[in-house]
Amino acid sequence: MVERYRLSNGVRVIVEQIPHVKSVSLGFWIGVGSIHENSNNNGITHFIEHMLFKGTSNRTAKQIAESIDSIGGQLNAFTSKECTCYYAKVLDSHLPIAVDVLSDMLFNSTFSDVEIEKEKSVVLEEINMYEDSPEDLVHDLLAKVTFNNHSLGSPILGTSQTVSEFQREMLLEYIQNNYTSDNIVVSVAGNFDQELLFSLLEEKFMKYSNHIKKPNILEAPSFGKNSGHRYKDIEQLHFCIGFKGIPQGHRDLYPLLVMNNVFGGSMSSRLFQNIREDKGLAYSVFSYPSSYSQIGMMTIYAGINPSQLIEVTKLINEEICHIKEKGLTEEEFYKSKEQLKGNYILGLESTSSRMTSIGKSELLMNRVYTQKEVLEKIDAVTMEDVYRVTHDIFDSAYASVALVGKVESDNGVCEMLKF
């Protein structure tokens, strides 16, 4: 059972007891991501995430790592478009250590100038590594051309220029404006003593009184029909098509997931079976939805030989036309819903995945759906829902294209997408 509480300083806490396990996962969620950045500080959210591991007034970077390593636990963090999460997974008996280490990182990080300069080099290498991964780069390029100049299309890592210019004062000001008590959620899942947990959290958060009201995003992202390409001297061509999708919490999200399973979401999907298995034109081809607070995107990806671009585009176009005209068969519809339910339940088998699920939902949607509610929503999807959403999503007026490889243009792919 999922329960909600508030600490005395206003920080939200959401917990789920799983008494039959011996582990507990703890996450500190901050409602800030790359969407909250601008052209001058792009990458600062991710950079701050790195810096919280670089030493506090109580621990060196090595001691932070050793604190969790020495008890066989896991300590990590990630930055996304809309949030940042610092988390630990430990044996239930070691929960006090996890709370102590994460709160120390959050409240007592020193941001020394020496460590900032060191970490700039680390992140710049991370950016270079990303540049050498065209299969990842093409998805960033798609977001950039689709959302035009909106920050939702900016890279999470930032750019070499912006990262190089970060200074201690910039980082601390950004934290002051975004790491606020109303913008933090603590999520805990596993086997733990609830009274002990809240005693520990109250003690650690007692002196944290940053109540600055975080400003809302002033401008909602809009979806444009655009194309972009990046020339890279590589053998494979990486190809993405993006469509306007469904935002988080919208009633059409589950019909979209049901449709995507059949269309391109698995190895048994139409895209994979037709383009890879039957015709051998791609090593990798799939589709997936992305949902954000204000907008969503449906993406089709293919890694192909450059000479096969036109043929693969035609096949994708044909599959879109077919699913719009004919919809799903009864068998596909039933199997997709069962697959969706199975994936959902299996995805919640660990305490870390449960912690992530409840923490992210509380932070971004201010509510958490129970497992029963989610399964009921999947069961409630009708064939008519899927048909309607399919027509809403696959609209050639909202189809953007990104290409990374030996290309000098989009090769007219946008014009070929007509359905």
What pLDDT shows up at residue 288?
98
Structure tokens at 225: 């029909």
What pLDDT shows up at residue 306?
93
What pLDDT shows up at residue 404?
97
Q: Which pTM does this prediction carry?
A: 0.94
Our count of domains for the chain comes to: 2
Tell me whether residue 33 is in a domain. yes
What pLDDT shows up at residue 263?
98
* 195 and 234 fall within a common domain: no
* 318 and 237 fall within a common domain: yes
Q: Which CATH number goes with the domain that contains 166?
A: 3.30.830.10
Q: For residue 353, what are the domain limits?
A: 227-416
Regions of the chain with pLDDT less than 70: 213-218
* 176 and 42 fall within a common domain: yes
- What backbone phi and psi angles, to 5 degrees, belong to 194? -65, -40
What pLDDT shows up at residue 380?
97
Helices of type H across 133-235: 134-146, 160-164, 168-178, 194-205
Cα 397 to Cα 392, 409, 414, distances in angstroms: 11, 20, 10
What pLDDT shows up at residue 219?
80
What pLDDT shows up at residue 385?
98
* 191 and 232 fall within a common domain: no
Q: What is the 3 state secondary structure string of 109-143?
A: ECCCHHHHHHHHHHHHHHHHHHHCCHHHHHHHHHH
For residues 257 and 294, what is the distance between their CA atoms, to the nearest angstrom?
Answer: 18
Residues serving a catalytic function are 49
What pLDDT shows up at residue 417?
82
What pLDDT shows up at residue 224?
80
The string of pLDDT tens digits covering residues 27-64 is 999 999 999 999 999 999 999 999 999 999 999 999 99
* 235 and 170 fall within a common domain: no
* 347 and 265 fall within a common domain: yes
For residues 227 and 242, what is the distance between their CA atoms, to the nearest angstrom?
Answer: 10
Cα 35 to Cα 32, 82, 144, 341, distances in angstroms: 8, 6, 12, 31
* 199 and 289 fall within a common domain: no
